[in-house]
Each structure stands twice: as C-alpha cells, then as structure tokens.
Amino acid sequence: MGIEYDFDIVDVALEDLDPEKLGSASDTKRQVCAVFRDIRAADALRGTSPKIRKIFMDAGFSLESRNSGIVPGVFPAEDQADRVRILRSLFENIRARGIQGEYCGDFNLWDFLHYVRTAQPMAGIVRSRPMRVPPPPSNQTNPERRTIPGRIGFALGLAVVLFVMIKLLAAAGATP
C-alpha cells in the first residue's frame, strides 16, 4: 500500500507563525498551511533533502500530519483558493530552485503530482475531527501525586522496616 498524498488546508495559530514571514500584506490575510492526512507522507517529506523540505515549507506545507477523516481524493471546496495559492507557490519554488539530483527518499514527487492533478473539490464536506482546543490550565494540584517530603518519608520508613527485619533474622540465626 503506497503513501497517500492527500492534504488539508488548516489555519495556523498566531504563536506558530514565523515572525520573519509576517509582512504588512500578509498580516491582513488568513494564515493557513497544508497538512498531510497520512503520517507516512509527512514522514517521507521529513526524510527528503533539506532543499526539498525548504521548498515545500516555504510554499506553505507543514511537516506535521492530521487525519481529518475526509475521503481520499477529495477536499473541501472552500479550501480551493488556498490550495491553488499554496500549490502555485510550490511549483514556483521548484522552478526557481530546482530539485534535480536532490534526495527524495520515500517521498515520490510523481505520485504527489498525480494526486494534485486528480484531487477533486467537493462541497459540504464535514471534517470528522474538529480543530484541537487546548484544555484550560488547571490551578489545582493532583492529590494523588506524592510530594518530595512524602517520598522521603516513605523511603525512610521502608528502610527502617527492612533494617528491623534484617536484625530479627540475624537474631534468629538466619543470615542473609
């Protein structure tokens, strides 16, 4: 079974953005990136040469993966404009920098290009996996967690019990 090169367009959190890439024109636009659905595709991209990784990352691809639950070969129609922008940027990067002779590893550029040509937009796609929201920070400590003085007390108590047992065995004539 080959690698599936399906990818989704996801919003990028402001704290994840590179400050060098933020310009006055890009501040007003929605910040998105392309994330592969198959972890093997992301792993394969991470395994390519640094030049190829940089070409993909500069175009807007992420080295992470996220399974959105969307059927392979289709993508949400509302992502069409962002997909076209990211793919045009990718192809411009490839033309400008070139990839001939670069190590691709398991990432098959021909299969990726075939997917890009055959993927179809579909209206009404609902992502089965909602965007991850971090849980609110908890101010309450875990009552089951032992504190350092508790750990020290437990260790000392255990040492005393073992010492007394050894003394009793030695007094009874049994030597360890």
- Whether residue 45 is contained in a domain is answered as yes
Q: For 151-161, how does the pLDDT look when each residue is reduced to its tens digit (9 = 90+)?
A: 888 899 999 99
Q: For 103-142, how does the pLDDT look when each residue is reduced to its tens digit (9 = 90+)?
A: 888 898 889 989 988 988 887 766 555 555 555 666 666 6
Same domain, 111 and 153: no
Same domain, 14 and 96: yes
Same domain, 161 and 118: no
Total residues found in the chain within this entry = 176
Same domain, 29 and 64: yes
**Domain limits for position 109:** 7-122
- Whether residue 136 is contained in a domain is answered as no
Same domain, 90 and 161: no
- Whether residue 46 is contained in a domain is answered as yes
Say if residue 176's pLDDT is above 70: no
Same domain, 168 and 87: no
The pLDDT value recorded for residue 95 is: 92
Average pLDDT, rounded, for the chain: 80
Beta-carbon contacts of 115 under 8 Å, excluding residues fewer than 6 positions away, are 4, 5, 6, 73
Same domain, 108 and 151: no
CA–CA dist 93, 135 (Å, integer): 38
Same domain, 35 and 93: yes
> Binning pLDDT at 50, 70 and 90, where does residue 10 land?
confident
Based on the structure, what is the number of domains in the chain?
2
Same domain, 151 and 97: no
- Whether residue 137 is contained in a domain is answered as no
> Binning pLDDT at 50, 70 and 90, where does residue 52 land?
very high
Same domain, 84 and 152: no
The pLDDT value recorded for residue 121 is: 85
- Whether residue 139 is contained in a domain is answered as no
Say if residue 8's pLDDT is above 60: yes
- Whether residue 78 is contained in a domain is answered as yes
The pLDDT value recorded for residue 46 is: 92
* Residue 60 Ramachandran class (φ > 0 left, ψ -120 to 50 alpha, else beta): left
